[in-house]
Structure 1
Amino acid sequence: MPAATPAAGAVASGRTRLIHAAFRARRLGRAHSLVPALIAGLLAVAAAPAPVALAQGKAVGDAAKSSVAAEIRAGVSGKYKDFYAPRGYWPLWVEKDRIGPQADALLALIAQSDADGLNPRSYGGRDLEKLIEAADSEGTPKALARADLALSRAFADLVADMRRPARGVKIRYLDAELDTKPPGPADIVRAASLAPSLTDYIQSAGWMSPLYMRLRAARAGYMDKWGGLPAVQIPPDVKLRPGGKVPEIALLRHRMGLSDGVAYDKALVAKVKAFQTDHGLKPDGVAGAMTIGALNDGPARYEHLLALNMERARLLPGPWTRHVVVDAASARLYYYSKGAMDGTMKVVAGAKESPTPLMAGMIRYATLNPYWNIPTDLVERKVAPKILAGGSLKSMRYEALTDWTADAAPLAQSAIDWRAVASGQGEVRVRQLPGGSNAMGRIKFMFPNDLGIYLHDTPQRDLFAKEDRHYSNGCVRLEDAQRLGRWFFGKTPTTDSDAPEQHEPLPQPVPVYLTYLTAVPTATGVQFLPDVYGRDGN
């Protein structure tokens, strides 16, 4: 990171004014809107040209840091020594002879940590300010070392609390390595030190999922937009539309924060459409039963939903971890690496009767030319009736097997009591042969689990054009399995033959998280989605 060059007094003075503004704004409830401007201002102060030339060469800067390192070595202890010792006690927060702008980013994040359900006072922001000001004004190695150590401790405490296990959210971890174990202070600070820009890493909270951070911002925006409007109840049995003159329109106008009256005018239409868009409703400008129900729920209900979804997103890793996220509520998939989202695509998720579970596992291999092992309930409801009506397994490209083991032998259709299967009195394993019509498509990505859940290709391309994409038996059908395969393997996965079930291990296992976000960030704020699986509660 380039070293800051302005005079120490100017930096300290500008930093102090802006940080004090952040803490004042937080007390006034305006920290969310101020923080981006605050950070921009801090960086502008740090980058302002000095009145006199103070540029120092790299050797001089390294010599100054070397003196700070000696002081850190003398003062560090406990778990933080595990971080500083391997790097020769080199400071993390010092740039030449002053504390760098990454400290300002940390102070700003602390100031708004109430958005994460935390108490900003727990991280000693005032004390950090004083240490930073002393380090900038004195410029001594001891003062800089003291500030560096204090900043590392505050940073590690904040990150650990932000990454705490989610409250009230149950997710099944298939691999012990994915379970939410609190990271140690040395691990937290070491991860930050490896980021290309520590300032950017802190500003974006790079240890948190981007979905979490976007929901965090959307929650503040939602309350600014809708939280302060009057809590007026509207009769649920009316339908209010443009051009109407019924008395209930006056209640609707009041609820939407508009002037008194009974006119369902353009202003009210625009307000209703905006509310409908943000609440996952058809934006037609008509206040029908669903819109009035959402209005009567009030902002408290939606703030609760935002908080609940933030807790779900809290379980997801940051973008520096190479991983895949499947959001079953919105039926979308995201994949991340190297600090950014690499791509997204539509998916088909489980139907209401067969929901995609909340789970996390390691995708370890791909299977090309896969079979589809048909769930026994579908064999009972779909396959057996067709056989009883005169159909054949061969014509449907199915085959029956003796059991569920890897060594199962083919079973003749005539050897099966299909009436018992159709009535639920018997059970048989049936699978679909590989090919263009196979329900798995050409490839599936496996993270071994006893529920038979995986990501896979599909020939049913028409489903991706639908707004509601909850049709599967729990598995996740991919809009572009080949693209995801190229991301996994670095090339398009191919086979040398038509042989079924060809397994190809990934170069490196990749975590996949199946989550359920019924509040999703949008370009303009947040949208609430239908709770298809009934997991949000009342």
Structure 2
Amino acid sequence: MLIAAALPTTAVAQPDAAQAARSSVAAEIRAQVGGKYKDFYGPRGYWPLWVDKDRIGPQADALLALIEDSEADGLDPRDYGARDLRRLIEQADAGGDPKALARADLALSRALASLVADMRRPAKGVKIRYLDKEVEPRDADPSDILRGAALAPSLADYVQNAGWMSPLYMRLRSARATYLKTWADLPDSAVPEGVKMRPGGKGEAIAVLRHRLGLADGANYDKALAARVKAFQTDHGLKPDGVAGAMTVAALNEGPARYERLLALNLERARLLPGPWIRHVVVDAASARLFYYGKGSLDGTMKVVAGAKETQTPLMAGMIRYATLNPYWNIPPDLVERKVAPRILGGGTLKGLRYEALADWSANPAPLAQSAIDWDAVAAGRQEVRVRQLPGGSNAMGKVKFMFPNDLGIYLHDTPQRDLFAREDRHYSNGCVRLEDAQRLGRWFFGKALAADGDKPEQHVPLPQAVPVYLTYLTAVPTAQGVQFLPDVYDRDGE
């Protein structure tokens, strides 16, 4: 049996110099702190947040850099007192005086709390429906903000990456800066329309195109112009073929101001999303993609099928509370009118189609015989009947749906219709979100594979812990090269 060697008595009795220094700073913080900041410092023994040994640590540099760049967030850097913070840091680092270190630590904490609250505050112009209290925006308490920062494995990284903001927001924020440097300062001159411009060509219209894209004067469609056109097409959601066709010219003639406005609008949409330390799901209906986050990073992503233009996936946020295995599909009344009724009138049967008709929309409705329904009236829109598809391999819900209760009947679900995921445009649903890999998302929700207990329909399985889900709409998205503008399928960018 091994026995641990006893520690030298000096190691037990005497703390190291760094700990002693921080203890002195803690005593000064206790003497200086007040108000809501005491709620943060008190439970941690007034231990400093920003002090490393007897100096202010590099996390302060990260905060100052973020403050100085806060115009990118629509904020005024002067509101956070960067000049005063630098002075306090210099005074603290000059001699390691505990009182000066405490003043600097408290000032940095106040600046961080103020900056985070302002960055998280949603703009008034972006509307999203909140289904649950848990996801409604609220003014964060400084102690909660600082506690979240203190729990991060690296405070410097947390501040530098603004870990309280969605990674989608931060990537778009960075991409916006690159975009503005690349495209915003170019001449805003109109490119002639209706003129064929392609590599190898020459002419006056091409000279205007070169000027518009910031290239040297000339009239030749050379390799440099083709490369520049491709870059513009890539960043503006167009096919990057290097040919200045009608769509490319139209995008050029929109002018930089429109794209700057779109970037600002999409940043405000992304601002509503939580940071990655909150376990959550994001569905971007514009790009038809889903992202899920936890423990500070992106855990995974997948394709989805989102609502068609006529049946849009709404902007909303709620709490996914349970999964339903072997689900029914309650067919929307308009589809019963347009799809089901004509098939019945054409000789089909509810049983053969694996449908059943019900008397009402209650939890335990009585079944209706096919013969008891006036299908001509249903097909004409004069009568409405509830019809649902039975569970099984052909069920439109697939094997599972993930529920965040709402009166619009929107949820995430499996699907047997796999061919749609191979398409670039994936806007075909009735508003719900069809998942490329529902089983993978289920394993992330539950920590294990989901399996139904037999063939019984509608088996409800509560999540171990409810997970927030955000349905958003980002028509400007970050890419590895910068930013890309996507088609405004739902015509929401002009709202």
Range into which the TM-score falls when normalised by the shorter chain: over 0.9
Deviations 1:270-310 (A, max 9, x none): 11111011100111111122111110111111111011000
3-state SS of the aligned residue for 2:169? helix
C-alpha separation in 1, matches of 2:391 and 2:284: 28
AA paired with 1:374? I
- Note if contact 1:167-1:311 (Cα within 8 Å) is conserved in structure 2: no
Match of 1:75 in 2: 32
**1:215-364 alignment, distance < 5 Å:** 215-364=172-321
Residues 1:415 and 2:372 aligned together? yes
SS at match of 1:405: coil
Which of 385, 405, 408 is 1:428 aligned to?
385
Q: Helix, strand or coil: the match of 2:460? A: strand
Gap runs ≥5 in structure 1:
1-56
1:244 shift after superposition: 2.5
Distance in 1 (CA, whole Å) between partners of 2:379 and 2:393 is 27
Match of 1:118 among 75, 81, 97: 75
CA contact (8 A) 1:99 1:144 kept: yes
Aligned to 1:373: 330
Q: Does 1:401 align with 2:358?
A: yes
Question: Matches of 1:175 and 1:224 in 2, distance apart?
Answer: 40
Aligned mates of 2:219, 2:15 — CA distance in 1: 71
CA distance, structure 2, for counterparts of residue 366 and residue 58 of structure 1: 52
Q: What residue in structure 2 maps to residue 173 of structure 1?
A: 130
Q: How many angstroms apart in 1 are the aligned matches of 2:249 and 2:152?
A: 48
Q: What is the aligned partner in structure 2 of residue 487 from structure 1?
A: 444
- Answer yes or no: is the 8 Å Cα contact 1:400–1:411 preserved in 2: yes
Shift of 1:58: 5.9
What is the count of residue pairs matched by the alignment?
482
* 3-state SS of 1:355 partner: coil
Matched residues in 1 for 2:170 and 2:357: separation? 49
| Counterpart residue identity of residue 394, structure 1 | K
Partner of 1:202: 159
- Percent of aligned pairs sharing the same letter: 78
Q: Which residue of 2 aligns with 1:106?
A: 63
| Residues 245-254 or 415-424, more deviating | 245-254
State how far apart, in whole Å, the 2-side matches of 1:324 and 1:274 are: 32
Does residue 483 of structure 2 align to residue 526 of structure 1?
yes
- Please state how far the C-alpha of 1:88 moved relative to its aligned partner: 1.0
What SS does the aligned partner of 1:477 have? strand
The whole-number CA distance in structure 2 between the counterparts of 1:196 and 1:328 is: 33
In 1, distance between residues paired with 2:323 and 2:16?
51
Of 306-315 and 222-231, the range deviating more from structure 2: 222-231
What SS class does the counterpart of residue 462 from structure 2 fall into? strand
> Who is 2:11 aligned against?
none
Measure how far apart 1:479 and its partner are.
0.2
> Taking structure 1 as the reference length, what is the TM-score of the superposition?
0.88
SS in 1 for 2:356: strand
For 1:472 and 1:159, locate their aligned partners in 2 and report how far apart those are by CA, in whole Å: 37
Q: Which amino acid aligns with 2:379?
A: A
Partner of 2:7: none
> Over the residues paired in the alignment, what is the CA RMSD in angstroms?
1.0
Determine the C-alpha separation between the residues in 1 that align with 2:99 and 2:226.
Answer: 63
How far does the alpha carbon of each residue in 1:164-209 deviate from its partner, in whole angstroms, 9 at most, with x for none?
Answer: 1223100000001210001011111111011111001001100000
Quick one: which amino acid aligns to residue 103 of structure 1? A
What letter corresponds to residue 377 of structure 1 in structure 2?
D
TM-score by length of 2: 0.96
Q: Are 1:154 and 2:111 counterparts?
A: yes
The Cα of 1:483 is off from its aligned counterpart by 0.2
Q: Which amino acid aligns with 1:356?
A: T
CA–CA distance in structure 2, aligned partners of residues 140 and 245 of structure 1: 71
Question: CA separation in 2, counterparts of 1:495 and 1:126?
Answer: 61
RCO greater where, 1 or 2, for CA within 8 Å and sep 6 or more? Answer: 2
* Partners of 1:118 and 1:426 in 2: CA distance: 55
Are 1:84 and 2:41 counterparts? Answer: yes
In 2, Cα distance between the equivalents of 1:94 and 1:243?
62
> Equivalent residues in 2 for 1:445-464 (5 A)?
445-464=402-421
Equivalent residue in structure 2 for 1:511, among 464, 468, 471? 468
